[in-house]
Amino acid sequence: DAGVTQSPTHLIKTRGQHVTLRCSPISGHKSVSWYQQVLGQGPQFIFQYYEKEERGRGNFPDRFSARQFPNYSSELNVNALLLGDSALYLCASSWVLDGSQTQYFGPGTRLLVL
């Protein structure tokens, strides 16, 4: 079975641009979460989506937005990119919306902002 997939794998942008990152969850999983991982640190929670609705949001500015589609895939959008947005963006999926459900991570999208 395929795990969580993300695209693209790598991306280079310049300050002020916007970016869209994509995630497909494990088949049958209905919840998708997004995390940002800066080099040398643990992942930081950005969003969680379930049944196409935002169910949780971390401490990130409004430049970050996301959505979930009827097939449970998801997009993360970041506007007005800053140098500090350079990071590995991880998507995780779980079966249902439950704090005790295991979240499985994809390989991430590495974003570099110049």
Does the protein bind another protein through residue 55 (CB under 8 A)?
Answer: yes
Residues 63-102 within binding reach of another protein (CB under 8 A): 90, 92, 94, 97-102
Q: Phi/psi of residue 96, each to 5°?
A: -135, 180
Q: Which of 19, 25, 29, 43 binds another protein (CB under 8 A)?
A: 43
Does the protein bind another protein through residue 2 (CB under 8 A)?
Answer: no
Comparing CA positions, the residue from 66, 108, 106, 65 lying closest to residue 86 is 108
Q: Please give the full DSSP string across 10-28, using - where no structure is assigned.
A: EEEE-TT--EEEEEEPPTT
Tell me how far, at minimum, the Cβ of 96 lies from another protein, in Å. Answer: 9
